[in-house]
């Protein structure tokens, strides 16, 4: 594919090049060769533009830069890069259509057209799987699960009984959908397990990261609304409701029965109470991102603050005067 064809496909504007060079791949600014397209979305990497060996760099129309490197000017460089990646690296289906010979699919299941089920899978009773869905090897789907169309389920995933995946859901390897919620009633000598009889609903276009876990609801449903993306090693407890187009980064957890509006949750965050839409959260317990960053900045000064307060106390003789210290 020639550079000028890519420019046309992106409806971008090419400068510093006639566009005749053949493009074979995509790469980061500092790893690109002269047959690669690269991109600049984060201005922190702007200084890499002039040393990049890329055949052309996708940049924002608004970028002001003095360079003789070929640039493709577009409205949204990150999105444009995604489109080029799709074009140059068409995703092939790594699982053959049909049901692999070593997989076991219950007779009562309803498998749609053009479904691919890889080797060593187990599909339980009354499961329905929509058209074009691809299930990689060693996936387990228990009874009464409903999976929509055009889903991709990577290896070693477990989907427990009664859970629902709508359309175009992607499950990265090893994630668990519908494990028991963590509910135990204290009784004499220990705990009694609370049966977890609900399920999990993943709406359209949800993506779940590798080894992430989503607990089924005690009753009713744990719900993740359409367009929401969860990173790896995220823990969603029972009865949680997560709004549309929410993004939760890795190693974050959401406590039971929490409702999350359409938000962004940064990594390593512990969400322990409801969050508001349109906000970014970070920390354990989760705080608004800006507030948490202010706290983190102040924390760096904390050891010195302890010393300062001691000096001030000494100066104002609080240690000897203040009544509260005498208690």
Q: In the structure encoding, which two tokens stand for residue 13, read together?
A: 């504007």
- Establish if 287 lies at the interface with a second copy (CB under 8 A): yes
Stretch near a second copy under the rule CB under 8 A, chosen from 7-15, 16-24, 127-135, 155-163: 155-163
Please identify which residue in the block is written with the tokens 């000096």: 311
Closest among 31, 41, 37 to 19, alpha carbons compared? 37
CB 6 within 8 Å of CB 23: yes
Helix (H) or strand (E) holding 291: helix 289-300
Stretch near a second copy under the rule CB under 8 A, chosen from 1-9, 11-19, 64-72, 165-173: 165-173
- Establish if 148 lies at the interface with a second copy (CB under 8 A): no
Half-sphere exposure of 98 (CA within 13 A, CB side): 4
DSSP, res 22: B
Toward a second copy, which CB reaches closer, 66 or 323? 323
- Establish if 176 lies at the interface with a second copy (CB under 8 A): yes
Window 15-54: residues binding a second copy (CB under 8 A): 25-28, 31
User: CB of residue 112 vs a second copy: minimum separation in angstroms?
Assistant: 22
Q: In the structure encoding, which two tokens stand for residue 116, read together?
A: 């691919």
Number of Cβ within 10 Å of residue 186's Cβ equals 8
Where does residue 27 rank: exposed (0-12), middle (13-18), buried (19+ CB within 10 A)?
A: middle
- Establish if 158 lies at the interface with a second copy (CB under 8 A): yes
- Establish if 303 lies at the interface with a second copy (CB under 8 A): yes
Closest among 55, 24, 23 to 39, alpha carbons compared? 55
User: CB of residue 276 vs a second copy: minimum separation in angstroms?
Assistant: 17
- Establish if 67 lies at the interface with a second copy (CB under 8 A): no
Single out the residue of 20, 64, 68, 324 in contact with a second copy (rule: CB under 8 A): 324
Where does residue 280 rank: exposed (0-12), middle (13-18), buried (19+ CB within 10 A)?
A: middle
Q: Give the residues across from 103 on adjacent strands.
A: none
Say which of 119, 238, 289, 315 is annotated catalytic: 238
Toward a second copy, which CB reaches closer, 68 or 303? 303
Toward a second copy, which CB reaches closer, 105 or 113? 105
DSSP, res 19: S
Window 75-134: residues binding a second copy (CB under 8 A): 76, 78-79, 81-82, 85-86, 89, 91, 94, 100, 102, 104, 118-122, 124
d(CA 244, CA 223): 10
d(CA 235, CA 268): 11
User: CB of residue 317 vs a second copy: minimum separation in angstroms?
Assistant: 9
Single out the residue of 67, 272, 279, 280 in contact with a second copy (rule: CB under 8 A): 272
User: CB of residue 303 vs a second copy: minimum separation in angstroms?
Assistant: 4
Q: Is 238 a catalytic residue?
A: yes
- Kindly write out the interface string for residues 222-241 of this chain, putting x where it contacts a second copy by CB under 8 A and - elsewhere: ----xx-x-xxx-x-x-x--
- Establish if 194 lies at the interface with a second copy (CB under 8 A): yes
Q: Site size for a second copy, by CB under 8 A?
A: 117
User: CB of residue 232 vs a second copy: minimum separation in angstroms?
Assistant: 4
d(CA 180, CA 195): 8
Question: Which positions are annotated as active-site residues?
Answer: 238
């Amino acid at each position: 594919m020639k550079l000028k064809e890519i420019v046309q496909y992106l409806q971008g504007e090419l400068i510093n090049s006639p566009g005749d060079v053949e493009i074979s791949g995509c790469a980061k600014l500092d790893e690109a060769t002269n047959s690669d397209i690269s991109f600049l979305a984060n201005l922190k990497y702007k200084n890499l533009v002039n040393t990049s060996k890329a055949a052309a760099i996708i940049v924002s129309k608004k970028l002001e830069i003095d360079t003789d490197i070929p640039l493709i000017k577009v409205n949204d460089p990150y999105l444009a890069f995604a489109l080029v990646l799709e074009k140059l690296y068409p995703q092939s289906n790594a699982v053959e259509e049909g049901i692999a010979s070593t997989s076991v699919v219950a007779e009562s299941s309803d498998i749609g057209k053009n479904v691919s089920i890889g080797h060593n899978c187990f599909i339980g009773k009354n499961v329905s799987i929509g058209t074009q869905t691809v299930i990689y090897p060693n996936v387990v789907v228990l009874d009464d699960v409903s999976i929509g169309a055009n889903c991709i389920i990577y290896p070693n995933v477990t989907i427990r009984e009664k859970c629902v995946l709508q359309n175009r859901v992607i499950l990265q390897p090893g994630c668990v959908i519908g494990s028991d919620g963590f509910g135990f009633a204290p009784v004499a000598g220990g705990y009694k397990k609370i049966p977890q009889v609900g399920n999990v609903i993943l709406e359209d276009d949800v993506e779940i990261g590798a080894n992430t876990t989503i607990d089924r609801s005690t009753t009713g449903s744990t719900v993740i609304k359409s367009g929401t993306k969860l990173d790896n090693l995220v823990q969603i407890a029972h009865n949680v409701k997560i709004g549309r187009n929410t993004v939760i980064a890795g190693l974050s957890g959401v406590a039971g029965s929490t409702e999350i509006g359409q938000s962004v949750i940064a990594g390593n965050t512990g969400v322990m109470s409801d969050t508001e839409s349109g906000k970014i959260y970070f920390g354990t317990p989760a705080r608004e991102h800006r507030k948490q960053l202010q706290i983190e900045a102040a924390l760096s000064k904390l050891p010195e603050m302890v010393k300062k307060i001691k000096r001030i106390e000494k100066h104002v003789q609080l240690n000897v005067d203040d009544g509260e210290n005498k208690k």
